[in-house]
Every structure is written in structure tokens, then in C-alpha cells.
Structure 1
Amino acid sequence: MPPRKKQQIPYTVLIVEDELAIAENLLLALEGEGFIADVARDACAALGRLEHESYDLMLLDIGLPGMDGYGLLKQMREELQLSMPVLMLTARSTLEDKALGFSSGADDYLVKPYALEEMLMRCKALIRRSRQLSDTAFALRYGPLRYVVADQLVTVDGQEIKLSRKNLMILELLMRYGGRVVPRRRLEEYLWQGEPPSAEALRSQMHLLRKALSAHGFDSIETVHSMGWRLAPNAAQP
């Protein structure tokens, strides 16, 4: 029997784009490749998400209402101290525009109109390069919950929690989904690369994870009937 293909955790992308049709096209293309994507229609909405959620990549338009993409990028780099890669997607094509984008903190620059296939290739390359360069510092955040992936270090309000390997895998997937429902099947495939050892195996692991987190004041894993589990959306707030 050939070995099972290893299940990959989904990468997360924040799309910052005020034109709804463009945002929807980007969303569909990314989700079709297995990414999890959110959309923010302006800089204020994007900053709100960045303060409470973690992303692997941002797709950023320059011509936003209110604060433009340059201002958002500057605030993200200097005030929030976020180093995640940013791919600028814009109709501005002059050398001066590109120079300003890169000097503001962009990692790549793609001029509209562009092929969605090229956009996806650049997304994957940026995330791959970012993880290779900064994996030791990469951390997922969800409200008071923080997980430094490379060190397998989980904290709630700075207090360390010891978790088993499978509990860490569940937690990482829940945090990457950022308040969305993680289907039971998705969790089982990721944990066991196929069928779980018993019908109650996942439920037992989830019970252990909940118990460990609640002992440190984080009691925010919700069961969504007939679907799966998620981190409570209100738990992302400070």
C-alpha cells in the first residue's frame, strides 16, 4: 500500500481590497488552492483584524478609502511590529510607485491586471520564504492565547501550558482557522492521516485540550453541532 499523503495545515491570507468583485475573485482563487482567506475593505478593518488575528500573508491594494495601502503598511510594520510578507496588488505601475511600495515594507509587487495563477505562485513563494527565514519566531495569536510553532510553546496571558503532540496539532489548526468552524473530518485527516483509531478518538483529544486550556483561564473552544469545533469569536478580543 502506498504511503498516505501528509495533510498540510492551511495557510491564512488577509485580502485588503475595497473593490468587491476583485476581492471575491481573490478569495475564490485562494480558497480553491486550500488557503483560508479573510477580506478587509479598508485600512481600519485590516488593522482591527491584524491586532487580534495572525496571518501568513497579506494581499494589499494601494488605493483604499481613507488611509491608503502605504499608510497601512507603514503602521503595520512600525506600530504593530508585524513581519508577515505583503504582496501589493495595484494598478499603479510606475517605477516610483514600486519603489515607494518596497520602501514602505512590501515584499512583492504585482500590477493589475494580472493572472490569478501568477498571484497564487507569488503567494506560495512568499509564504515559503518567510517560514524558512523566520520559523523560530513564528507565532499564532488568538486573544490571550499564543502559540510559538517552532518551539511548540503555548501560553495564555504569558503563562505556559504543556500540551501533548496531538493537542498541539488540534490547537494549531483551530488557531489558523481563526474563529471559523474546523470540520471534524479535517481534524481527523490532519491528526491521523486517514481514519482515526476509534470513533471517540478526536472527542477524547478535544476533551484533554479543553481541560488543559480551561485550567489556565481559556475556556473558549466551542462545539458546533454536526459540523466541528471552533475558537469562540469573542475570545479573539483583548
Structure 2
Amino acid sequence: MSSIGSGSRAAPRVLLVEDHLALAQTVCLFLENAGFVIDYSAEGATGLHLARTNRYDVIILDVMLPGLSGLDVCERLRKDVGITVPILMLTARDSLEDKLKGFEAGADDYLVKPFDLPELQARLLAMTRRQSGALDQKPIEIGELRIDVRAQSVSRAGAALKLTPTGYRILLTLARQTPGFIAKENLEQEIWGDALPDSDTLRSHLYQLRQVVDKPFDTPMIETRQGFGIRLIQPDSD
């Protein structure tokens, strides 16, 4: 079993909210042996309280929780509390509709049960690396779109845009590639590294991103072109 590493690097701190006790024990034991620090809750309300009162590098939420569901917890953390910590949802459902609901609530990634523990570890490590890897540089401006990399905030035509952490990373990747296209496979590699999600995940995130960046405005900026890929364009550009 691989570990996080040694030296001065702090162990990633994870909150697991899962009501299936046997699965939770297995996940906790595996991740602790791999070098993670784990807090655990079996129900949504306590998980929400822990997430509000502690600092975590990543949160794992089961969708189906007693009382307050994982989707409810995720949405409250994003909208009411404003927490930007990466959130991984665990679910027994693999439909695009279910994933869209999770991404709408603010989830960054999905893992369908049953899953391999090394894959869970790889996804968590990728999420924590991305969270800590924001670059300190000047804001990026593309037409009326402005990305403040240091503050990790986005606005268009002066209006603040509320993006999920993964939506922000996708937009930032497209902005850095502008005016060129980036192939779907390359975009997935840039966002998720070697822990690639299933084929619906990027499409779902792009759908949600367009709802925020394009739909409220007269001219779309996110373009997908068959055979070329995806790019970010200025309104009225070729």
C-alpha cells in the first residue's frame, strides 16, 4: 500500500460522512494506513457541523444519508457556508441525472459503489494537490470575463460568478489556453490527472459551467467544436 510520504509535508485531513458502518471502517482503516487523518460521521447533520467547525483538505459524502442527505450537506456547505474544500460524492447510482444533481449541489467528483480503495486514494490525492496548487499571478482577462487567480474568483461584465471548485479549474484551464482549443482528453488529464473519471463527468461539469458563465448573458464564451475540442472565446470573435 502506498503512503503519502514523509518529511515536513502535512498529512491530508479528510472528513468521511458515510452511514454504512462496515464500508466506513474499511475506508478509514485504508486511508489512515496510507497516511491520511480521518474524521468520521454516520449522518448528515453531524457531518455538516464537523465541516463547518474544522478545516479539511477534502470531504467525502455519501449521497444517501439518514436525515440530511449528502446532496443537502454539499449544497449547504457551498451556498450557506461558502466552503470551497473539494467534495467527493459516493453513490450507488451511476446515471447522468444523479451526477448532475451532485454537481449542481457543488460536488467536484463522483465515485460509484463498489469502488477500489486505491482509486479512492488516487482521487483524494489529486483533489488535495489541485486545491493547494493555485498559482499566485495577475488576474486573467478575456473580454468581459475576469479571473482573479489569487482570490480564485470569477466575474463577467462586472457580475460575480459562483462556480464550483472543479468548474473554476476547468474555466481557468480554458482561459490559459485561449484562444486555442484544448482536446477533451487533455482537459480531463489537466483537471483530474491520472485519476480520470468516467466519460460523463466532464460533460456534466461543462453543462453546469455554461449555466453560470454563458446562460445569463447574450453571447456564449465556451465553445465546443467537433474535431478540435473546447475553448474560451471573446464575444464576437471568430
CA distance in 2, matches of 1:108, 1:48: 22
| C-alpha separation in 2, matches of 1:50 and 1:115 | 25
* Structure 1 residue 60 corresponds to structure 2 residue 94: no
Deviation at 1:133, TM superposition (A): 2.6
Aligned to 1:123: 124
Partner of 2:133, secondary structure, is: helix
Say yes or no: does 1:83 pair with 2:62: no
Deviation of the 1:32 alpha carbon: 1.1
Aligned counterpart, 1:147: none
The one-letter code matched in structure 2 to 1:55 is Y
Structure 2: distance between partners of 1:131 and 1:105: 19
Per-residue CA deviation, residues 35-86 of structure 1 (Å, 9 max, x unaligned), is 1001111111012112221100001100000111111100010111100000
Q: What corresponds to 2:43 in structure 1?
A: 42
Say which SS state the counterpart of residue 37 (structure 1) adopts: strand
Deviation at 1:17, TM superposition (A): 0.2
Displaced runs of 4+ in structure 1, greater than 6 A?
134-138
How far is the alpha carbon of 1:124 from its aligned partner? 0.2
SS of the residue corresponding to residue 60 of structure 1 reads strand
Q: Name the counterpart of 1:70.
A: 71
Aligned partner of 1:51 in structure 2 is 52
In structure 1, C-alpha distance between the alignment counterparts of 2:88 and 2:81, rounded to whole Å: 18
Q: CA deviation at 1:99?
A: 1.1
TM-score by length of 1: 0.54
Residue 79 of structure 2 aligns with an amino acid whose one-letter code is E
Call closer, same or farther: CA 1:18–1:103 in 2, change over 3 Å. same
TM-score with structure 2 setting the length:
0.54
How far residue 6 of structure 1 moved from its aligned partner, in angstroms, is: 3.1
Alpha carbons of structure 1 residues 52 and 98: separation in structure 2 relative to 1, 3 Å: same
Q: CA RMSD in A?
A: 1.8
SS in 2 for 1:71: helix
CA distance in 2, matches of 1:99, 1:28: 30
How many pairs were matched up? Answer: 134
Q: How far did residue 29 of structure 1 move?
A: 1.2
Q: CA deviation at 1:137?
A: 6.8
Distance 1:41 1:8 in 2: 29
Shift of 1:88: 0.8
Match of 1:23 in 2: 24
Determine the C-alpha separation between the residues in 2 that align with 1:133 and 1:84. Answer: 13
CA spacing shift, 1:130–1:8, aligned 2, 3 Å:
same
Residue 48 and residue 105 in structure 1: after superposition, are their counterparts in 2 closer, same or farther (change >3 A)? same
Partners of 1:30 and 1:58 lie apart in 2 by 13
Task: Report the Cα distance in structure 2 between the residues aligned to 1:15 and 1:71, rounded to whole angstroms.
Answer: 15
Task: Describe the superposition over 1:108-164 as per-residue Cα deviations: whole angstroms up to 9, x where unpaired.
Answer: 1010011000000000000101111389679xxxxxxxxxxxxxxxxxxxxxxxxxx
CA distance in 2, matches of 1:85, 1:19: 22
Q: How many Å separate the matches in 2 of 1:35 and 1:69?
A: 22
Structure 1 regions of 5+ residues with no counterpart? 139-238
Matched residue, 1:14: 15
Structure 2: distance between partners of 1:23 and 1:134: 35
Equivalent-residue separation in structure 2 for 1:91 and 1:122 (angstroms): 18
**CA distance 1:116–1:134, shift in 2 (3 Å):** farther
Aligned equivalents of 2:13, 2:135: Cα separation in 1: 16
Q: How does 1:158-169 map to 2 (within 5 A)?
A: none
> What is the alpha-carbon distance in structure 1 between the residues aligned to residue 43 and residue 84 of structure 2?
20
**What SS is found at the alignment partner of 2:111?**
strand
